[in-house]
Amino acid sequence: MADTLISVDLSESPHTNENVHNRWHPDIPINVWVEPGDDFKIETYDWTGGQIKNDDDASDVRDVELEQVHYLSGPIGVKGAAPGDLLVVEILDIGAVEEMNWGFNGFFSKNNGGGFLTDHFPAAQKSIWDFDGMFTKSRHVPGVKYAGLIHPGLIGCLPDRKMLDMWNTRETKLFNTDPERVPPLAALPNTQSAHMGAMKGDAREKAAMEGARTVPPREHGGNCDIKDLSRGCKIYFPVYVDGAGLSMGDLHFSQGDGEITFCGAIEMAGWLHLKVEVIKDGMAKYGVKNPIFKPSPIKPVYDDYLIFEGISVDEAGEQHYLDVHVAYRQACLNAIEYLKKFGYTGAQAYSILGTAPVQGHISGVVDIPNACATLWLPNDIFEWDMMPNANGPTKYLDGSVDMPIAYDL
């Protein structure tokens, strides 16, 4: 059996665990070391560290403290790994923990995080998803069932000092273009609820003040929220510090491309079984700046899609220039309108797009002025046939079940 190198106790605060951290900083010490070729297990908290409960009240989503996220397990040192190398991480397996056999999905309040469609869904809402073996269902979103495509939303190596400075500089610059914006343009360093792993004293205070938030994906990977980093995939990470310093968390049972609901996919605590190797000087050999990866041979096969198109004209009819973000939002809104014809509420439809293994494709980015994005909705996740036909849609749901909502106080 592979050894569990980092354990977490869901009944305790993540801040008591020195092998957990929630900021990126080169000085966070590596406590756990492995050899290239080793395989081992790592446990993780859910990204909020247990702030969201399995109940029918969305006030926990509304009141979530986002300064806490994301609780990562690590950093793990790989002996011999040095700056410029590629760290090869194979996800041999991944799963939920026995004591938390469920996950959550939600929409943040527009005033506390927001999300992709926050103008359409400004209030906090949540849905709870139960895990039945390799499948999940929700009492708040009837009629759908997915096979797990379990993956870490967040995984990557520690930045070095130079990279950290670059991150902070460029993100501060953007933030300062509109510092009052809600939600903000960037999540800047913030000592509130910072967890710096085993760091202590002044060094900890200083690092907390400059440690990069874990929110965005960056050159090292990080919070990419790529649904395809699932069991069986092999990822090649850039290494910036001696030992690499691999950390991970934010496990998702299932997610659609884009993680559009932001809070988020089907979020869960869990464990990973990993194997690591090193390609010496791999960054230069292969010209790698951001991580690359090879997906798994064992992902769920959902290939009976209905596909929705969106173009870069926004809800107000405004023309945008090759803006894929706007185009994908339109494709998502189109899919939500479609699902409502079958009886889903808008919130339920939005939740499905955030949690099911939908694909989001960049279909056209050169035909001025409109980008074209497509949303691929798998038909096989529904209990019912959701394809169009000459008779029109059947209302399978009567609206009696909806997702809990919590309005801002």
For residue 279, the minimal CB distance to its own copies (Å) is 5
396 near its own copies (CB under 8 A)? no
Site for its own copies in 316-335 (CB under 8 A): 317-325, 328, 330-331, 334
280, containing H or E segment: none
| 292 near its own copies (CB under 8 A) | yes
Question: Shortest gap between Cβ of 321 and its own copies (angstroms)?
Answer: 6
The span from the CA of 216 to the CA of 225, in Å, is: 9
Q: Could you tell me the sign of the dihedral formed by the alpha carbons of 112, 116, 120, 126, in that order?
A: negative
Identified binder of its own copies from the candidate list 203, 337, 399, 407, rule CB under 8 A:
337
Q: How far is CA 372 from the centre of its chain?
A: 24
Nearer to its own copies, 56 or 304 (CB): 304
Characterize 325-363 residue by residue with b for buried, 16 or more Cβ atoms within 10 angstroms of its Cβ, and e for exposed: ebbbbbbbbebbebbbebbbbbbbbbbbbbbbbbbbbeb
How far apart, in whole angstroms, are the C-alpha atoms of residue 384 and residue 382?
5
Question: CA nearest 106: which of 404, 409, 330?
Answer: 404
Which residue type occupies 21? H
Contact assessment for residue 251 and residue 152, using Cβ atoms and an 8 Å cutoff: yes
Is 267 a residue that touches its own copies (CB under 8 A)? no
Per CB under 8 A, which region of 25-33, 75-83, 357-365, 395-403 contacts its own copies? 357-365
Q: Quote the tokens at residue 362.
A: 């960049």
Answer whether 360's CB lies under 8 Å from 257's CB. yes
Q: Applying CB under 8 A, which of residues 303, 398, 400, 409 lies at the interface with its own copies?
A: 303
Q: Rule CB under 8 A: choose which of 308, 344, 350, 382 binds its own copies.
A: 308
Q: How many residues in the shown chain lie near its own copies by CB under 8 A?
A: 127
- Residue 63 or 219: the one with the smaller Cβ distance to its own copies is 219
The single residue listed with the structure tokens 């797009």 is 353
- CB of 116 vs its own copies, minimal distance in Å: 5
In terms of CB distance, is 115 or 211 closer to its own copies? 115
Helix (H, G, I), strand (E, B) or coil at 324: helix
**Window contacting its own copies (CB under 8 A); options: 4-12, 21-29, 52-60, 291-299:** 291-299
Position 351: which residue type?
A: S
CA–CA separation, 190 vs 211, rounded Å?
8
Site for its own copies in 107-136 (CB under 8 A): 115-116, 132-135
User: Does residue 388 belong to the site contacting its own copies (CB under 8 A)?
Assistant: yes
Binding status of residue 309 toward its own copies by CB under 8 A? yes
Scanning 26-34, 120-128, 202-210, 270-278 for contacts with its own copies by CB under 8 A, the matching segment is: 270-278
- The verdict on 38 binding its own copies (CB under 8 A) reads no
Contact range with its own copies by CB under 8 A, out of 18-26, 201-209, 301-309, 398-406: 301-309
